[in-house]
Structure 1
Amino acid sequence: MKSSVVSIVVVSWNSAAVLPGLLETLADGMAGTDWQFVLADNASADDSVAVVRAALPDARIVQTGRNAGYAAAINAAVAEVRPEGPVLVLNPDIRLRPGFGKALLAGLEAEPGTGIAAPRLLGADGSVTPTLRREPSLPRAVGEAVLGNIRAGRFPLLGEIVTDPDAYTRPTRADWSTGAALLVSAECAAACGPWDESFFLYSEETEYQLRARDRGFATRLVPGAVAVHLEGESEVSPRLWTLVVLNKVRLYRRRHGRMPSALFRLALLVREVSRGWLVGHERSRVAARALVRPIGPVGGLG
């Protein structure tokens, strides 16, 4: 196993309430590895920075000076630290299980061509979270609109979410994995360059991993590396859900022609309309209204 130092990059924006839980699990979670901790703080108005400084006096603190978004904060941290080894990107609401880091490093190096290692994530209730994804496509957008995300995920051609339980018990290659916890090799990071800052939040991890795949670096699940993820606001917040949907359209538009992109957007609109007015989800009603307006080139909500 390589002896390179792992740079743990955590992006915070008013994350003082959840950071202690992560910091408390670092010692056991990263046991047997060399690591440094880097907090990329997006102008938090709370005690995020103070919490980290109190727990880890040697931590590197990178201040972006604004709410710059996830990708921009990661880039700022990497530019400041200039890591020579792999970079472990973690959400502040991740809690590492013992042996996490050592297992994830071993998984990154076990399969030639692996550039990004993803751990097995559990929910707060201990159930496995389906984090693996297939590349967004028109048939999958239609399948999810008709069948719903989970049922469509049973069929590789019709769903983006990998729902097969067996896929989370073995080293499974995926087009991408959710960005709450990812270990990126130094070679992959050098080949891909910075994360795309035009995605303020959501789809930045999709774009990065598809770009890595285009350059010959696979994303692979390491089931022996386990962490708990306390789910974020995208499940309940109409504003954030709208950003999820709009950025899916933006990313698809970058990789496909005008007509397929228009059909992809229509499929998402059908999905959000059905969920918003037939099922009664307010977040989908907000997203549907946003989809019928022109979508700008950047990741904000304007």
Structure 2
Amino acid sequence: MIPAVAAVVVTYNSERDIDGLLDSVPAAMGGLDHSLVVVDNGSTDGTLDVLGARTDCIVVRSTNVGYAAGINRAVAAAGEARSILILNPDATLDPGSVPAMLAVLERPGVGIVAPRVREADGRLSPTIRRRPTLARVGGLSFTGLDAFSERVEDPDEYLVEHDVDWAVGAILLVDRQCYAALGGLDESFFLYSEETDFCLRARDAGWSTRYTPDAGAVHVGGGSGESSLTHTMKILNRVRVYRRRTGPLRGGLYFGLSVAIELRRALLGTHDSWPTVRALLRPSARPRQLGLRRRLVPR
């Protein structure tokens, strides 16, 4: 019998968080047949010791091949399942959340389901996103205007089930046929924007991303650490998603606006933005993992 769900996790120095996630899985599954695979991307803390003490998951040791590649490896190791539950190690699932998500996934045309996510203190975590545009490059969510904000802030939007452009990838349930049709996550992103790209490609192929308030989870965020390197990856990958989808002219405009925005942030005291400005303007200064050192505008 094919399991209903393959739950997949990628860890990287996740010693503090991974037990909490894995402990939440049985109740979250609500009796569904499932497999659970954790790919460790070369942790140097005690993550592997924590995982080695457990008997409820398959552990795959890996070098740091990136988040997208780690998820793809975990899916391959999980074997057959009707759906794939992508989880960040610093998330925890509410009891019964997976059957609630699966009920939505089984509706015609739905390829990806995102639950209602809370911060550690119980506040709503705004995880729904609008598609990237030139007007939204600055992340001006404080304006409250849809035209300038990629992040959906309106609490009312989180009260009802509806289709969205994309959602943060900390907890996503994906139809196995959708995942296979898209060839999994795009490993060229290494870290960040892989879920943006995946949801938008799914929509291009006729699969919707659906948000449901009927399934809940908590996501702490930043469990593997944040730095100027990860900020640089985030901005470069945002440019690359837009460039791939719109072509060289609009991609070039998005790139130029990204440079201006990061320079402004740096001048206003955001120290992580200085390395990002250098990496945007000097391809040779970009993180080698992204493979973006051959041309000015990332693609």
User: Which TM-score applies when normalising by structure 1?
Assistant: 0.89
Pick which of 284-293 and 95-104 moved more: 284-293
1:120-269 equivalent positions in 2, closer than 5 A: 120-141=116-137, 144=138, 148-152=139-143, 154-232=144-222, 237-269=227-259
User: Which TM-score applies when normalising by structure 2?
Assistant: 0.90
How far apart, CA to CA, are the structure 2 residues paired with 1:27 and 1:183?
16
TM-superposed deviation, 1:3: 8.0
How far apart, CA to CA, are the structure 2 residues paired with 1:46 and 1:291?
32
Pick which of 255-264 and 196-205 moved more: 255-264
User: In the alignment, residue 193 of structure 1 is paired with which amino acid?
Assistant: G
Q: Secondary structure at the match of 2:73?
A: helix
Contact 1:40 / 1:61 at 8 angstroms: preserved in 2? yes
TM-superposed deviation, 1:101: 1.1
Q: How many matched pairs? A: 291
Q: Please list every run of 5 or more consecutive structure 2 residues that lacks an aligned counterpart in the other structure.
A: 294-299
Q: Which residue, 285, 289, 298 being the options, matches 2:274? A: 285
Q: Secondary structure at the match of 1:198?
A: helix
Contact 2:283 / 2:292 at 8 angstroms: preserved in 1? no
Structure 2 residue 114 is matched with structure 1 residue 114: no
- Superposed CA deviations along residues 92-145 of structure 1, whole A, max 9, x for unmatched, are 000111221121111222x4211000011111111111111111111222xx3x
Q: Secondary structure at the match of 1:15?
A: coil
TM-superposed deviation, 1:194: 2.2
User: In the alignment, residue 151 of structure 1 is paired with which amino acid?
Assistant: F
- Superposed CA deviations along residues 6-65 of structure 1, whole A, max 9, x for unmatched, are 11000011212211111221222222322211011112233323323423x14222222x
Q: Please list every run of 5 or more consecutive structure 1 residues that lacks an aligned counterpart in the other structure.
A: none
User: In the alignment, residue 29 of structure 1 is paired with which amino acid?
Assistant: A
How far apart, CA to CA, are the structure 2 residues paired with 1:157 and 1:233?
31
Contact 1:10 / 1:40 at 8 angstroms: preserved in 2? yes
How far apart, CA to CA, are the structure 2 residues paired with 1:58 and 1:228?
21
Contact 1:30 / 1:99 at 8 angstroms: preserved in 2? yes
Structure 2 residue 76 is matched with structure 1 residue 79: yes
How far apart, CA to CA, are the structure 2 residues paired with 1:101 and 1:276?
42
Contact 1:235 / 1:241 at 8 angstroms: preserved in 2? no
Aligned-residue Cα RMSD (Å) equals: 2.2
TM-superposed deviation, 1:84: 2.8
Contact 2:117 / 2:125 at 8 angstroms: preserved in 1? yes
Instruction: Among all aligned residue pairs of Structure 1 and Structure 2, give the percentage whose two residues are the same amino acid.
Output: 44
TM-superposed deviation, 1:78: 1.6
TM-superposed deviation, 1:175: 1.2
Contact 1:234 / 1:241 at 8 angstroms: preserved in 2? no
- Specify whether residues 298 and 48 from structure 1 end up closer, same or farther in structure 2 by C-alpha distance, changes over 3 A only: closer
Q: Secondary structure at the match of 2:189?
A: coil
User: In the alignment, residue 59 of structure 1 is paired with which amino acid?
Assistant: C
